[in-house]
Amino acid sequence: STWWHPCIIAGCLLPSPPDAGGGEIHQAPSLMVKEGGIAQLECSQTYGHDNMYWYKQQPQGMALQLLYYSIENAVETNEIKSDRLTARRLDNKVFCLNISSVEASDTAVYFCARSIEGC
């Protein structure tokens, strides 16, 4: 199972994730960044699941785009090839996404997710 937690540059949605064994997933509140600035998004979980993901959804509500995924501490990219986006897994509970030289096209909902098994 995968649980989602969305964040949008210029606003953040913070629904309560489904309870699965008493753990929680947290993501930074709304973030507004000027063009050319740096956006730093951090997602943490109390579950300690090995698999974590960062997705992007454009304001038009298009399909989710998988940006990065992490199994244990290894970070992989799936669909993007950008020097401006980087991700790092600090430990088995924290997964960070950084966007440098922010552009208007970066305005989106950024979803952090975690799962027990890879998907």
**How confident is the prediction along the chain (119 residues), in pLDDT tens digits per residue?**
445 444 545 334 333 344 445 567 777 777 888 889 999 999 888 877 788 889 888 888 778 888 999 887 788 886 666 889 999 998 888 999 999 999 988 888 888 888 876 55
| Region of residue 90 (left: phi > 0; alpha: psi -120 to 50; beta: else) | alpha
pLDDT, residue 80, reads 64
The residue range of the domain holding 78 is 2-115
- The count of other CB atoms within 10 Å of the CB of residue 90 is 11
How many domains would you assign to the chain? 1
List Cβ neighbours of 37 (8 Å cut-off, separation of 6 or more): 102
Give the CA-trace dihedral at 36, 33, 96, 85, to 10 degrees. -30
* Alpha-carbon span 102 to 88, nearest angstrom: 18
Instruction: Give the domain CATH number at 14.
Output: 2.60.40.10
SS3 27: strand
pTM: 0.75
- First and final C-alpha spacing in the chain: 9
